[in-house]
Amino acid sequence: MLSIKNPFKKKTEQIQPEGKIEFFKKKYKKEQQKKLNSQERKQRLKNYIERAGFDVNLKSLKVIFFNIAIVINLVFSALLIYYFSVTYGIGWGTVVASIFVLWVLIFVLLIIGLWMIFYIAVDLKIFKRKVDIEEVLPDFLQLTASNINAGMTIDRALWYAVRPRFGVLAKEIETVAKETMSGVDLKLALEKFASRYDSTVLKRSVSMINEGVEAGGSIGGLLNRVSLDIQQQRAMFKEMSANVTTYVIFIVFATVVAAPFLFALSGILIQVVESLGSSLSGTASGAQSAGISISFSGVGVTQTDFKIFAIVSLLSTSFFSAIMVATIKKGNVKAGIKYIPIFAAISLILYVVAQSVGSGLLSSFFTLS
């Protein structure tokens, strides 16, 4: 047979290596992009943690969370195995095989929950630092203005205005001073400082300082005006907060005092209905023996079900009322998180006390009758 050479074979053989090279290039670029994205995420997380003033090693933090999740999961699994083995007589091997999927699910949920708690803690810490900075910012600006009026340059005036009582702001200004000493432009150092906090007051103050430096005008007078403006805004906000105190008192009273007593009273009423039901059932039995047909259906809600409903409702109302109070008084939702455990604890304690006292009085009443 005649062998016919394929004229495109050589061309195809030449293209294939080039295609492989192109394929590996794309693969390498994707891997590098993934590494870059991973590094960027780690850097963002690191910067986020540093904004809260925490010095945390991410690798160590991951190991700690992993170990905590393992320990909690093992304890939970041991309790489940013991419960099913003792209560139902099921072998521990069968229980382990049955709860393996549940174990994995709980482990994942624990890891997610721990990271969520950590993020919330970091976010609250950042918020607290922002509030602390805004609290002392007017005094710091006035001291800086005094130093400038005394003949100091802006960078030296900022440095010498630092006081220990300024706390977080003092540390941040020290960082700015170190950066400027190392060659960083003062404007960039101040903007970097302001960008770490979600504070309109701080960003506006830094912006006005930078504009004053560029314009070359009277920076001392400008800083005094900014400080006075911040103090006036704060006084106005305090006046507004005082005007809504009545609404705050009503919300707190309704949540912390009225709701627990109303739920306790409802639980006592259910107890009364159940007691009356037992008494009427006995009367109905006697009447039926005498030829009289009487039927009585008991209450549809048990005391245990209502207690669970009451506790969940009190916790929910405590959460939302704390958020409402913080929004009205402070103008920020995050400020209400610290009130949630206080509201929840007081409302639950009052509910338990009222329920116990009411049940005691009710039982003594039925005993006497």
Q: What is the pLDDT of residue 97?
A: 67
Residue 169 pLDDT greater than 60, yes or no: yes
DSSP summary character for residue 165:
G
Contacts of residue 57, Cβ cutoff 8 Å, sequence gap at least 6: none
Q: What is the pLDDT of residue 127?
A: 83
Q: What is the pLDDT of residue 287?
A: 47
Question: How far is Cα 225 from Cα 205, in angstroms, rounded to an integer?
Answer: 10
C-alpha distances out from residue 129 to 166, 169, 183, Å: 11, 9, 27
State both tokens at 24: 């590996």
Domain extents in the chain = 58-127, 129-240, 245-276+301-368
- Name the band, by pLDDT with cuts 50, 70 and 90, for residue 328: confident
Residue 317's CB is within 10 A of a number of other CB atoms, namely: 20
- Name the band, by pLDDT with cuts 50, 70 and 90, for residue 366: low
Contacts of residue 124, Cβ cutoff 8 Å, sequence gap at least 6: 334, 337
**By three-state DSSP, how is residue 230 classified?**
helix
| For the chain, percent of residues with pLDDT exceeding 70 | 76
Least confident of 34-43, 167-176, 346-355: 34-43
Q: For residue range 9-44, what is the model confidence (pLDDT) as tens digits?
A: 544 444 455 566 666 666 666 676 666 666 777 777
CA angle (53, 56, 60) in 5-degree steps: 170
Helices and strands per DSSP (H, E), number in the chain: 13, 0
Question: How far is Cα 38 from Cα 245, in angstroms, rounded to an integer?
Answer: 48
Q: Where are any strands of DSSP class E within the chain? A: none
Q: What is the pLDDT of residue 109?
A: 86
* HSE-up of residue 344 (Cα within 13 Å, Cβ side): 14
- Name the band, by pLDDT with cuts 50, 70 and 90, for residue 2: very low
Question: How far is Cα 255 from Cα 249, in angstroms, rounded to an integer?
Answer: 10
Q: Are 269 and 354 in contact (CB under 8 A)?
A: no
Residues recorded for the chain: 369
Name all contacts of 141-148 with Cβ < 8 Å and 24+ positions apart: 141/205, 141/223, 141/224, 141/226, 141/227, 141/230, 142/223, 142/224, 142/227, 144/223, 145/219, 145/220, 145/221, 145/222, 145/223, 145/224, 145/227, 146/220, 148/219, 148/220, 148/223
Q: Are 205 and 230 in contact (CB under 8 A)?
A: yes
